[in-house]
Amino acid sequence: MTKYRLTAPRKFGDMPKDYQFIVSSQTIGSPNANDVEKEIARLGFNREAQSYRSPGNFKVEKIS
């Protein structure tokens, strides 16, 4: 699995601006939107934050 560090460029729901989290995904290039949504939910953020699940909404950095 590939790991990505995602950074929120602005506030998404109850997720603060510049919040960083790690997503593991089978895809190469950027994480899968479903993987991003699951991680946001696991971290306890609200449904509004989860609606920003597209990797295009975040700064994405491949870390492994």
Token pair recorded at residue 59? 């700064």
Alpha-carbon span 64 to 49, nearest angstrom: 25
Q: Give CA–CA dist 30/46, Å, rounded.
A: 23
Domain coverage including residue 35: 2-62
pLDDT for res 61: 97
| pTM for this predicted structure | 0.93
Q: How many domains does the chain have?
A: 1
pLDDT tens digits along 8-58: 999 999 999 999 999 999 998 899 999 999 999 999 999 999 999 999 999
